[in-house]
Amino acid sequence: MARRATFLDSVWNEDVPVLMVDGGDLFVVDAKTGKLILPEYLIVEKNGIKFGLVSVLAPKHKIITMTDMDPGLETRDPVTVLRELVPRLREKVDTVVLLGHLGETLTDTVIREVKGIDINVMGHTFRTQKTERIFEDTVYLAAPHEGRYIGRADMFIDDSDGKVMAVDVELTSLDESVEDEPGMAKRVDEYKQSFLEYKEARRAAFPRNMGSEKESYLGSRSCKGCHEDTWAAYTESAHSKAFSTLRHKGQSEDPECVVCHTTGYQWKNGYAAERPFNMMANVQCEACHGYGTEHARDGKWGARAKDACVVCHDEKNSPDFDYATYWEKIKH
């Protein structure tokens, strides 16, 4: 972030008109009212040329701050939305810029199906594109993966009709050769510190004070050797993917969620984000049966597992919990 600020400072200081795009509105609607939660486009004028910026998100690429966290929001189909919007937008602007978090295949479909898009800035691509690409008369630019690069496109635009006549693309690696902008670096450090304090405060509500330092979690793979059929059933269950659902929703740092999507979160030597304890992500065998080092062969492990269900499947999290019904989902 601080290196990006340094690069942008240098661009802003040049004597050329600059249009910076880094994000945009999303076609996300309130599920009850059908109304957009943000404006559907943004118009920016540079040197007498009006740019219309519009942004879309593929429904399958739900991001953590939007529809995947809030069931009251819905993501609209980008092709359907843009077919109706772009003609209206073209009446007000000279050049239409699409910011699309779509991936390459769906982006091509959108450009093929929706005419009138001059520039496409493509997200959700993991290939670094060092040059422009022209497809269906649309200039393609790619947002580099994970912010490791920053892209610059110098364009010549016909001011009579807003068409891009020529474009030259340059990618700059934000490596150590780019100095941190001091003001932004300070803000980043302050954010990291405040976030660390926030996490520690949240974690304090779920202290790791149960069990014994003498015992250890061994991980579900250690069970596979003697319980191969059980292991196979486990890998097909939702329990084996429990932590992945938190990552997808951006909740993998929320202790209130992590405690029931990992193994031994409140137990000594149980799950923690740091190695080697992070290997206990997901609801593994020992989440129900207890420490692997306490493995007994007298049947007590089975009884312990049944009692463990209601620790997380309680009235708050699973109001309709019924052991017999839920057991069928993980039967082994």
pLDDT at 214: 92
d(CA 129, CA 142): 6
Tally Cβ neighbours within 10 Å of residue 222: 15
Flag whether pLDDT at 145 surpasses 70.
Answer: no
Residue in the structure block whose two tokens are 């080092």: 293
Tally Cβ neighbours within 10 Å of residue 59: 15
- C-alpha distances (whole Å) from 318 to each of 145, 260, 305, 309 are 38, 12, 17, 10
Are 282 and 207 in contact, with CB atoms under 8 Å apart? no
261 is written with which tokens?
């999507």
Flag whether pLDDT at 89 surpasses 90.
Answer: yes
The residue ranges of every structural domain in the chain are: 2-173, 204-330
Predicted confidence (pLDDT) per residue in 100-134, tens digit: 888 788 888 999 999 999 888 887 776 666 667 77
d(CA 224, CA 232): 8
Entry field: residues in the chain: 332
CA 41 to chain centre: 23
d(CA 202, CA 120): 41
Mean pLDDT, residues 156-161 taken together: 78
pLDDT at 25: 45
Predicted confidence (pLDDT) per residue in 240-279, tens digit: 999 988 887 778 888 888 999 999 999 999 998 888 888 9
Label residue 85 by pLDDT band (50, 70, 90). Answer: very high
Which amino acid, residue 49? Answer: I
Label residue 176 by pLDDT band (50, 70, 90). Answer: confident
Label residue 24 by pLDDT band (50, 70, 90). Answer: very low
Tally Cβ neighbours within 10 Å of residue 49: 16
Are 48 and 159 in contact, with CB atoms under 8 Å apart? yes
Are 43 and 21 in contact, with CB atoms under 8 Å apart? no
pLDDT at 263: 93
| Beta-bridge partner residues of 170 | 152
pLDDT at 58: 80
pLDDT at 303: 61
Are 154 and 110 in contact, with CB atoms under 8 Å apart? no
pLDDT at 304: 66
d(CA 89, CA 275): 51
Flag whether pLDDT at 21 surpasses 80.
Answer: no
d(CA 271, CA 261): 10
Are 234 and 332 in contact, with CB atoms under 8 Å apart? yes
Flag whether pLDDT at 141 surpasses 90.
Answer: no
The more confidently predicted of residues 89 and 101 is 89
For residues 254, 255, 257 and 260, what is the CA-based torsion angle, rounded to 10 degrees?
150
Environment class of residue 52 by beta-carbon count within 10 Å: exposed (0-12), middle (13-18) or buried (19+)?
buried
- The second-level CATH assignment, the architecture, of 2-173 is 4-Layer Sandwich (3.60)
Are 135 and 108 in contact, with CB atoms under 8 Å apart? yes
CA 161 to chain centre: 38
d(CA 122, CA 108): 10
Predicted confidence (pLDDT) per residue in 207-227, tens digit: 888 999 999 999 999 988 888
Percent of the chain exceeding pLDDT 70 equals: 78
d(CA 292, CA 294): 5
Predicted confidence (pLDDT) per residue in 187-206, tens digit: 888 888 888 788 778 777 78
Are 208 and 269 in contact, with CB atoms under 8 Å apart? no
| Interstrand relation of 119-123 and 49-57 (parallel, antiparallel or unpaired) | unpaired
CA angle 207, 211, 217 (to 5 degrees): 100
* Residues 6 or more apart in contact with residue 268 via CB below 8 angstroms: 208, 209, 210, 211, 212, 213, 215
